């Protein structure tokens, strides 16, 4: 007998799970359907099949610029966040110092700060310093909010690594830098890749903080938000939405599958 | 170096907000110094307090409802013994990892007066085009529905983590001692998974409390939240940075208190279980 679930209960839960998954994916499927609909407005009944809206957004220069800007910001953000994340994680895991708990709390606190408050704080900071809002001001904000995510990925990985490996390297005369390059870095590389991806996607999709510190060059979410206010742009925004959603779902699944394959290989290697 | 970064771009900005709230800094030139007048004005103004209370209620309802919905999902994944539990978990969480704005957009398309739901009802004749279901979009309901939709996959994660670490032998022992499944659930499973439930609640409640993007897209007048008020005070119409700063600091203070209260239930791996 199963102690957690009766047969009947398992059936009910499976049905409920299926319903919820349908509810989660239905809006995405509806967008997919209407992205091919020829009418200007997304209404029933469907009026015919077209690829017009996909063509429309492919030739839309503003949109392409926004995607490029977001790509640039996300790339710089993820580099910066991973760099700071590696430094803080090593300090948190390997060093024993006073006030460690406070430091760790401070490093993770951007996880819980309301983005509206953080966005405004940055706005006031740049206003006070007389720094004009631009691409770098968005990068600054995005590094702060993605830093804790990189730490959350890196710290567990560092904790798994046997610290004696590093000590052995020191004993054999390797410098700190050499030890990091030859021992620590290769061992945490998978976690660095995950941290990079998380920081990249966080930044690429971030609207709330960016809305306060963005300059004349709109990011992709900023562009989307303003496009949502003009009904005439809706059909091509829906087409973009479908492309982005399908692409990101594919990347998520691919990353997960890839990680499992690597884990299995490494696991086999350990034996 | 990371600390210096956070000091300059995280702590200092919040300190400047505090400066504005006490009138040490001001948007307008002229003499000013430390006063509590902005704080007093907010404390005496029922509009802000009522709006805050309304946002708290909306966030509590959203968080509570989706925690209750997510619990059976996590329970199914963790305890039903299904072999594909990680694939199913990924299926559940994947929407959360895609674009936030685009998922709000989907609901805008679905709920509008001329949206998918209404035109479907007209088309099938269930409702006449003169009387659309007009409360769907631009309402408190729309804000809560969309926020629930956005956060539901995420909430399942901490609950799943706590249920997964549950020792099944406890349930077997209870069963051997004659307890029914329901009795085991109430006496063992639920209490042991409570930290995950509370963490889940916290991780949804905090961001939805300060939310301003979803309400500004689907909320209309009735869905207006505290976060929107803060944004508007810093907006282009009639900026009032002092009052806005007071509201922002008040929100941080509330979140800080909640974080301390909930901290014993929070474990970073609950949200990094990727």
- Domain check: are B68 and B117 in the same one? yes
Domain range for B105: 46-273
For the packed helices A185-204 and A234-270, what is the interaxial angle rounded to 10 degrees?
170
Q: Which site among A2, A15, A27 would you substitute to test the B interface, given the most B Cβ atoms closer than 10 Å to its Cβ?
A: A27
Q: Which member of A17, A112, A155 has the closest CB to residue B73?
A: A17
Q: Kindly give the confidence (pLDDT) of every residue in chain A, 271 residues in length, as a single tens digit, with 9 standing for 90 and above.
A: 577 778 788 888 989 999 999 999 988 888 888 888 777 766 666 777 878 778 877 888 888 899 899 999 999 999 999 999 999 898 888 877 777 778 888 888 888 889 999 998 888 888 888 888 888 899 999 999 999 999 988 988 888 887 888 888 888 888 888 888 888 888 888 889 888 988 998 899 899 999 998 988 889 999 988 887 777 777 888 888 888 888 878 877 777 777 677 666 655 544 3
Q: Does B182 touch chain A (CB under 8 A)?
A: no
- Rounded to whole angstroms, what are the CA distances from B33 to B11, B43, B204? 22, 20, 38
- Domain check: are B90 and B16 in the same one? no
Is B219:B140 a contact under the CB 8 Å cutoff?
yes
- Domain check: are B153 and B254 in the same one? yes
Average pLDDT over residues B12-28: 68
Both tokens of residue B27? 């948007």
Between chains, do A28 and B92 touch, taking CB under 8 Å as contact? no
pLDDT score at B274: 44
Q: Is the pLDDT score of B236 beyond 90? A: no
Note the Cα A4 to chain centre separation in Å: 35
> Does residue B140 lie in a domain region?
yes
Q: Is the pLDDT score of B23 beyond 80? A: no
Q: What is the pLDDT of residues B78-114, one digit of tens each?
A: 888 777 888 888 888 888 887 888 888 888 888 877 7
- Domain check: are B79 and B214 in the same one? yes
Cβ count near B29 (within 10 Å)? 6
For residue B121, give the CATH number of its domain.
1.10.3720.10
With contacts defined as CB-CB under 8 Å, which chain A residues touch B127? none
Which of B166, B191, B196 lies closest to B270, judged by CA?
Answer: B196
Is A238:A39 a contact under the CB 8 Å cutoff?
no
pLDDT score at A184: 84
Average pLDDT over residues B259-267: 79
- Domain check: are B77 and B104 in the same one? yes
> Does residue B40 lie in a domain region?
no
Q: Is the pLDDT score of B171 beyond 80? A: yes
- Domain check: are B2 and B98 in the same one? no
- The conformational region for residue B129 under phi > 0 = left, psi -120 to 50 = alpha, else beta, is alpha
ipTM value of the model? Answer: 0.84
- Domain check: are B5 and B70 in the same one? no
Which of B178, B83, B76, B89 lies closest to A5, judged by CA?
Answer: B76
Which of A51, A249, A43 lies closest to B102, judged by CA?
Answer: A249
Q: Is the pLDDT score of B53 beyond 70? A: yes
Which of B267, B266, B227 lies closest to B247, judged by CA?
Answer: B227
With contacts defined as CB-CB under 8 Å, which chain A residues touch B6? 106-107, 110, 144, 147
pLDDT score at B268: 57
């Amino acid at each position: 007998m199963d102690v957690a679930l009766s047969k009947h209960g398992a059936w009910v839960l499976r049905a409920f799970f299926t319903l919820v998954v349908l509810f989660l994916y239905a809006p995405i499927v509806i967008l997919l359907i209407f992205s091919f609909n020829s009418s200007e407005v997304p209404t029933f009944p469907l009026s015919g099949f077209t690829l017009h809206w996909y063509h429309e957004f492919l030739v839309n220069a503003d949109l392409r610029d926004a995607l490029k800007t977001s790509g640039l910001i996300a790339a710089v953000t993820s580099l910066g966040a991973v760099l700071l994340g590696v430094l803080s994680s090593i300090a948190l895991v390997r060093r024993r110092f006073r006030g460690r708990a406070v430091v760790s709390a401070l490093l993770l606190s951007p996880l819980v700060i309301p983005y509206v408050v953080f966005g405004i704080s940055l706005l006031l900071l740049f206003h006070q310093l007389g720094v004009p809002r631009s691409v770098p001001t968005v990068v600054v904000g995005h590094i702060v909010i993605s830093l804790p995510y990189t730490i959350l990925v890196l710290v567990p990985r560092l904790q798994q690594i046997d610290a004696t490996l590093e000590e052995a390297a020191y004993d054999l005369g390797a410098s700190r830098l050499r030890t990091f390059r030859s021992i620590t870095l290769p061992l945490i590389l998978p976690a660095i890749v995950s941290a990079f991806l998380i920081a990249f996607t966080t930044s690429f999709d971030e609207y709330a903080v960016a809305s306060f510190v963005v300059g004349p060059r709109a990011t992709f979410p900023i562009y989307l938000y303003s496009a949502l206010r003009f009904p005439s742009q809706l059909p091509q925004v829906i087409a973009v939405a479908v492309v982005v959603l399908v692409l990101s779902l594919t990347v998520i699944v691919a990353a997960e599958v890839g990680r499992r394959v690597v884990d299995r290989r490494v696991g086999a290697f350990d034996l | 170096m990371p600390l210096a970064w956070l000091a300059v771009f995280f702590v200092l900005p919040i300190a400047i907000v505090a400066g504005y709230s006490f009138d040490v800094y001001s948007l307008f030139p002229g003499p000013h110094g430390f006063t509590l007048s902005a704080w007093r004005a907010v404390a005496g103004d029922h509009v802000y307090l009522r709006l805050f209370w309304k946002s708290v209620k909306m966030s509590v309802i959203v968080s509570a409802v989706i925690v209750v919905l997510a619990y059976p999902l996590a329970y199914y994944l963790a305890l039903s013994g299904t072999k594909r539990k990680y694939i199913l978990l990924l299926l559940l969480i994947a929407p959360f990892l895609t674009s936030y704005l685009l998922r709000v957009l989907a609901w805008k398309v679905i709920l509008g007066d001329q949206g998918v739901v209404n035109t479907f009802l007209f088309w099938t004749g269930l409702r006449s085009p003169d009387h659309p279901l007009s409360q769907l979009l631009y309402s408190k309901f729309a804000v809560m529905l969309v926020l629930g939709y956005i956060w539901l996959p995420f909430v399942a994660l901490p609950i799943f983590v706590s249920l997964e670490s549950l020792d099944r032998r406890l349930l077997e022992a209870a069963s051997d001692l004659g307890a029914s499944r329901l009795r085991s659930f109430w006496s063992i499973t639920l209490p042991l998974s409570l930290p995950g439930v509370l963490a889940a609640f916290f991780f949804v409640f905090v961001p939805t409390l300060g939310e301003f993007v979803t309400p500004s897209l689907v909320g209309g007048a009735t869905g207006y939240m505290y976060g929107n008020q803060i944004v508007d005070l810093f907006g282009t119409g009639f900026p009032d940075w002092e009052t806005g700063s007071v509201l922002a600091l008040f929100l941080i203070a509330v979140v800080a208190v909640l974080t301390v209260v909930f901290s014993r239930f929070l474990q970073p791996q609950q949200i990094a279980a990727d």
